[in-house]
Structure formats: C-alpha cells, structure tokens
Structure 1
Amino acid sequence: MNTNREYTNPLVEQRADPWVYKHTDSYYYFTASVPEYDRIEVRRALTIEGLREAQPVVAWRKYESGPLSANIWAPEIHYIDGKWYIYFAAARTTETKEGLFDHRMYALENTSANPLEGEWTEKGQVRTAWESFALDATTFEHRGVHYYVWAQKDPEIDGNSNLYISAMENGWTLKGPQTMISTPEYPWEVIGFKVNEGAAVLKRGGRIFMSFSASATDHNYCLGLLTADEDSDLLDAASWTKHPEPMFQTSEENGQYGPGHNSFTVDENGEDVLIYHARNYKEITGDPLYDPNRHTRAQRLRWNADGTPDFGVPVRDGVK
C-alpha cells in the first residue's frame, strides 16, 4: 500500500547546496557543501529520512595550495554511462578575500558500483569558453544527449553569474555551442549580488523545468524557474522561458530564511520531493558564506493544474 512519506526538517544539519540522487540500486546518494569547505563527502541510505543518520565517506580532500585548495563548493553526484561522477567548484588559497570568487569547475570519476567504495579519479577542470568564475554544475540527459548546465561570470556582462548550457562529449568535456539561457534581470535576482546559479532539472508532462537560485546567500536567496518544451532545441536560448516571479522564497511565518540551491528526487513511492537548504534565522554575523547553518531540508513537490511545479513555502522546522 502506498503511503505518503513524511520528513521532519532539518534533514541534515550544516549541509548546504544539497544534492540527492536516487539510483537504480534503490539507494539515495547525498552530497553537499560542508561548513569547512575542505572536502567532498558522499553518504547513502534506502530512504530520504535515512540520510539523516547515514555515515558519510570522504571522496576527496582539497590540496594545500594551487587551484584546488580552497572553498570546495556545491558537489553533485551523477551516474553517466556506467560510471559515477562528482562535479564541484574549487578556488585557490589566497591571503585576502579577493580570491573568494576565483572558482573553476572540476570533475571526479569512480568506476565502482558503489561510489562509497573504490577510487575517485580527478578528471581535471571542465573547460568552458572563458577562464572566469564558474561553479554549480549539473547534468541531465534528454533524448540521448547529455547536457551540462552551470553558472559563470561572462567578462563582458555586468553581474556575478549567468546560467549556461552545453552538450557533453564525455563526463568531463563539453562540445559544441555554449549558450547563455538566463541572466539576472528581475529585482528578486539582483539583491546583494546579480546571481543565477545552482540549477537543477526536472522533466514532466512534455516540458523540461530548470530551477535555479538567485541573489545573495542571505535571507534574499530564492528559487526561480526556467521552462522549455521537450521538443525544442535546448541549446537555443529562445527555447527557455523564465517565470517572472520567484517560485520559493523566505517564509518569515515559518522561520525559514534564504531557501535555495535545490535538487529534485522522488520518494520511495515515486512522488516528487524538493531538497534544498535554508537557515532558521534571519540575522547573520559576517559574510553569509561563512555562516555554517544552512541545513538540508526536504518536502513534497506538488503540481499545479497547468502542469507546472508548485514549490509551496518552506516548511517550519520540527513539523512532519
């Protein structure tokens, strides 16, 4: 008998930018930014709720110096052509904060059936059209093509990051055109910083939905949505339409601030689940990026009558 699954938030404390992937082995694989920004962890469980207590395994640690030595951000784990990949962003150690936004994107590969075992091999930097600030890569497959979506600073465009899409040659190499499909333009996308980042893809009902995060990482952080028809050319910017309002944002009433950087998964019954991070307080001392209390959260993703996703509002802590 199918029953509705319940979650009590926060699901995993002090894990930002959460990524949950349900594999064909029925396990949920979880990775996220750790507060120290110094390593990449992976854990797994047979239920989403089980991720709370699952033991993490360190897949990779940062270097002491060089381009992979600081601010290891937003890892995602994917399974492509029989191999596991982790995409992440890393910067180089500097003595000033000016190096904070010096990130580039990298890939790790693991050929083991269980990615908590075996060796993660560095495949190097995922090269794009520019050598500039780049992060938050995700990937999805559509009609036999693997697509890579990421956030990057175009030196010719004012702002911090735009969203780009490209086809992939293999798990760590892009090919063909690289198209900008979203740039911060609405007031809710430009608070503090002009940011589009943290894309995640969901396919349903003949459409491809792409969520993304916008604005600074404090209480202004929120989720936006792009939509494309499944028959359209996904490498054509004109195929993507941005919803003019944010889809998911701070709920003062529920004590949830800055919800964002989400992923999508399904529960044990195949129902869609939204995974995201948020804080349970508004006022932050210092740089929000160094506040460790962006906790991983989960809640049911519902659907509107017109076939678009209904993100709802972030659920209050401690409520099933």
Structure 2
Amino acid sequence: MKKNLGFTLIALFNFIVAISQSNTFQNPILPSGADPFSTYHNGYYYYTHTLGNKLMLWKTKNLANLKDAESKLIWTPPTGTMYSKEIWAPEFHFINNKWYVYFAADNGNNNNHRMYVLENASKDPFKGSWRLKGKIDTHPDRWAIDANVYTFHDQLYMVWSGWEGNTNGQQNIYIAKMKNPWTLEGARVLISQPTYTWEKQGDLDDDINPPHVNVNEGPQFLEHNDKLFIVFSANGCWTDFYNLGLLELEGGNPMNPQNWMKHQQPIFTKNEANGVYAPGHNSFFKSPDGTEDWILFHANDNAGEGCGTKRSPRMQKIEWDKDGTPILGTPVSNKTILNIPSE
C-alpha cells in the first residue's frame, strides 16, 4: 500500500511539474534566428525569421513552443536573379483574404538590395502556391530593406529602411501609401534619420567591421487606443549598442513627416547584468485571448557577437503608460521564468 502510494505521489509530482512547465518558458525561444516576426490567424501563430537563402514558416498555438512547432519551406529563390541571395527580414501578412510575404533580397551585391513580395491565395499559408508578385517599386528606386505594412484608418501603408542616395552612409526610415499589397502610391517620405547620440553609437571602421554607418532600420507599426507608433532599431547590428527607438504620430496624416515625433531616449536597450546584448529588430503580437501585448526581438547572449547566427529570438510582455505610450521594460535574463501568453 505504501509502495503504491509512493508511485502515486511521484506521478502526481511529475504531472504538476509538467503542467507548470507547459505554462511557463524561458528565453530564447529558438537557439538562433534574427529579425523574428509572427502573424496570428485562425487560432495559430505563423512565425518566421531571416535565413538568408530561403523562406520558412512555422505554425504553432503558442510561440513559447516554437522548438516543437510545425514548419514548412515555402519558397526558395531561383538562381541568377536580382533576388536570389541575402534574403532578409521576411514578414507574412494576411490582407484582403490572401497571404503576402515581404522580404529584402539582392544578387549577392548588397548595393542591390530591394524589397519583394510573394502572394498566396490560399487562406492556409501552408497550402496553395506562392508566386512572386514582383519588386516593390519605390520612388525613387533606392536600396531598401525591412518592409512592414499596416492598415491605419482604412489606408494601407508601408515603412522601410533605405538610403537617401545610391551609396551607403546612413539608413533612414521612409513611409509610403499603398495602392494594393504589392504597389506603392506616390513618392516615399522620409520620417526618421539618426540624430541622437544613442542612434550613432559604437560604429567601427577597421578590416573586420563595416565602415562608419548611422542606422535606423527594422521599423514596426504599433497601435494602441487609436494612437499610432513606429518602433525602430538604431545603430549597426554589429555593435552591442543596437537598440530600439520610438516614433509617435502626433498629427492625423502619417504621410506628413512633421507629424512624427521621435522620443529623445531609446525605449529598449542592452542589459549587461541580464546577459542580453544588442536587442532589436522586433515585432509585436497579442496573446491568444487578445488581452496582452508582447514583443518579439532578437539579441545576443554575449558582448561582441554582432550580426551572425548567435542572434536568437526572444519574447516578453509589454505594458502601456497612462498616456498610451508603450513600456517595453528591460530585456530579461535567459534564467528568468516567464508565464506564457494568456489564453
């Protein structure tokens, strides 16, 4: 009897531990993966990140369980094209009952990076066929990466990071209206460029690191209570100073650059005490029950790890200030046990 009771108690303990573990997680949610992005549709999160030579999609009920998620290779570029190599920062969006994936790519020469879009008419992105709609034509035609699209007041917009001229030197944030999910309307409008010290830190110029470049990139729309923000990444990803800044729309028209106010301080930065370096290139998602807002971002575990494969995706809940401004908090340690998003 005592022996059976012992087995029963052990089984009960293991059950409690399993339940507890299933309701919590620790960062990172994958060993590697830069530029993480997810879309929630019909009860599933569809997740992706930069792989460089292909587009992969993960499907899961809970982003904390990405390691066990179903995945599918949805597109491999043909060789010998202007979009065959250096595929960066893909984003999947469900717009007008069709799926679209936006990404930046080139022919092996970074100077030729441009943005492209694929379309899938299936309501399930794991089914149907993906076909190239073409290059996103910007006016003027310049180096462009990190497209993010969002509908605000019934108008679809795109923001991205690009060069002012034909040569590198500084990355800015631009915005344009969209006629449809694959066509911009009118010329691009500059809404942010590196101006503060925290946007221009840690640039290096030697035989190993890229030359001095000031960077605004990875823009992401974020809306709360009808207030529109853009969260963007600043500094080169090769530095430990990679961080997040905030633009806030203070006027009615997103196409008027005067209506975008940049906050004077970054809103998400490295935390050496927690072992989190170069946090950035984020996206946002809501919990399954819609009550919580979360940030997805990549970061390194150690100083000096730069832009390589050691960047890993992480997630944590965000809050909102009484004035409606997002509070991203501090990047948590990999040892921190977090509750999964509310279901």
Same fold (TM over 0.5): yes
Q: Label 1:177 to 1:104 Cα distance change in 2 as closer, same or farther (>3 A).
A: closer
- Out of 178, 186, 189, the position equivalent to 2:196 is 186
Structure 1 stretches lacking a partner, 5+ long: 94-98
Secondary structure of the structure 2 residue equivalent to 1:10: coil
Partner of 1:307: 324
Separation of aligned partners in 2, 1:181 and 1:74: 20
Please say if residues 62 and 72 of structure 1, whose CA atoms lie closer than 8 Å, have aligned partners that are also in contact.
no
State the distance in 2 between where 1:177 and 1:32 align: 29
State which of 45, 57, 66 in structure 2 corresponds to 1:28.
45
How far, CA to CA, are the matches of 1:78 and 1:222 in structure 2?
Answer: 25
* 1:52 matched residue in structure 2: 67
1:318 maps to which residue?
A: 335
Do residues 223 (structure 1) and 244 (structure 2) align? Answer: yes
- Which of 315, 328, 343 is matched with 1:298 structurally? 315
* CA–CA distance in structure 2, aligned partners of residues 133 and 14 of structure 1: 27
Q: Secondary structure at the match of 2:309?
A: coil
Does the 8 A contact of 2:140 with 2:187 survive in 1?
no
Corresponding residue of 2:28 = 10
Q: TM-score, normalised by structure 1?
A: 0.91
Q: Please list, as runs of the form range in 1=range in 2, the aligned pairs for 1:157-236 lying within 5 A after superposition.
A: 159-191=169-201, 192=203, 193-217=213-237, 218-229=239-250, 232-236=252-256
Corresponding residue SS for 1:164: strand
Consecutive unaligned residues of structure 2, counting only runs of 5 or more, are 1-22, 204-212, 338-343
Report the counterpart of residue 96 of structure 1 in structure 2: none
1:163-203: per-residue Cα shift (whole Å, max 9, x none)?
Answer: 11111111110013421110111111123221111111111
Q: Secondary structure at the match of 2:30?
A: coil
The question of 1:71 aligning with 2:89 is answered: no
Structure 2 counterpart of 1:19? 37
Structure 2 residue matching 1:301: 3-state secondary structure: strand
Q: 1:207 corresponds to which letter in structure 2?
A: K
Distance 1:120 1:273 in 2: 29
Provide the alpha-carbon RMSD of the alignment: 1.6
2:108 equivalent to 1:87: no
* Corresponding residue for residue 144 of structure 1: 154
Is the 8 Å Cα contact of residues 14 and 292 (structure 1) preserved in structure 2? yes
Q: Which runs of 4+ in 1 moved over 3 A?
A: 156-159
Aligned partners of 1:134, 1:280: CA distance in 2, in Å?
A: 29
- From 233, 246, 270, the counterpart of 1:250: 270
Contact 1:224–1:248 at 8 Å: present in 2 too? yes
- Which fold has the larger relative contact order, with Cα–Cα distance below 8 Å and residues 6 or more apart in sequence? 1
Structure with larger Rg: 2
Contact 1:7 1:299 in 2 (8 A): no
Which is helix-richer, 1 or 2? 2
2:260 equivalent in structure 1: 240
* TM-score, length of structure 2 as denominator length: 0.85
Per-residue CA deviation, residues 217-270 of structure 1 (Å, 9 max, x unaligned), is 0311110000014x6111000111001111101100000010000001011232
